[in-house]
Amino acid sequence: MHEISIAGAIFDAVIDAAGKNNATRVKEIFIEIGELTALNPGQLKFIFETISKGTVAEDAKYDIKVIKPLINCRKCSYNGQIEFFERLHFFLPVIKCPQCGDIDVVLKEGRECCVKKIRID
């Protein structure tokens, strides 16, 4: 349930951006979360709907996109998605190259968790 603290941080960023742009209402919020964050989009949405009550973002729509992990293998130079990952620890998944099986890979995408844009009035 680390969704609550992350949702709170995302929501603060939305309210901050809305305030800076003199928004009277936030209509839509676009969020990207990496699959490796293990965040649950449905859970996030529920938390946003709860904490946005009484704010400019009340009744905003949420567009939550889950980003597939993308890696770059240092050994065989494979570039692309991974087929699976073992989650030994919640925040430390073991990522292997699907081509050569090496773990010497660079994670290019899959850990993001951010607000891409918001639509305001």
* Residue 99 binds Zn ion, judged by CB under 5 A: yes
* Residue 71 binds Zn ion, judged by CB under 5 A: no
**Of 70 and 113, CB closest to Zn ion:** 70
Among 18, 33, 57, 97, contact with Zn ion (rule: CB under 5 A): 97
**Smallest distance from Zn ion to CB 80, Å:** 10
Among 2, 75, 108, 117, contact with Zn ion (rule: CB under 5 A): 75
Q: At what angle do helices 3-20 and 41-51 cross, to 10 degrees?
A: 50
Cα(28)–Cα(34) distance, rounded to whole angstroms?
20
The pair phi, psi for residue 66, each rounded to 5°, is -95, 125
The pair phi, psi for residue 65, each rounded to 5°, is -110, 130
Q: Which spans of this chain sit near Zn ion (rule: CB under 5 A)?
A: 73, 75-76, 78, 97, 99-100, 102
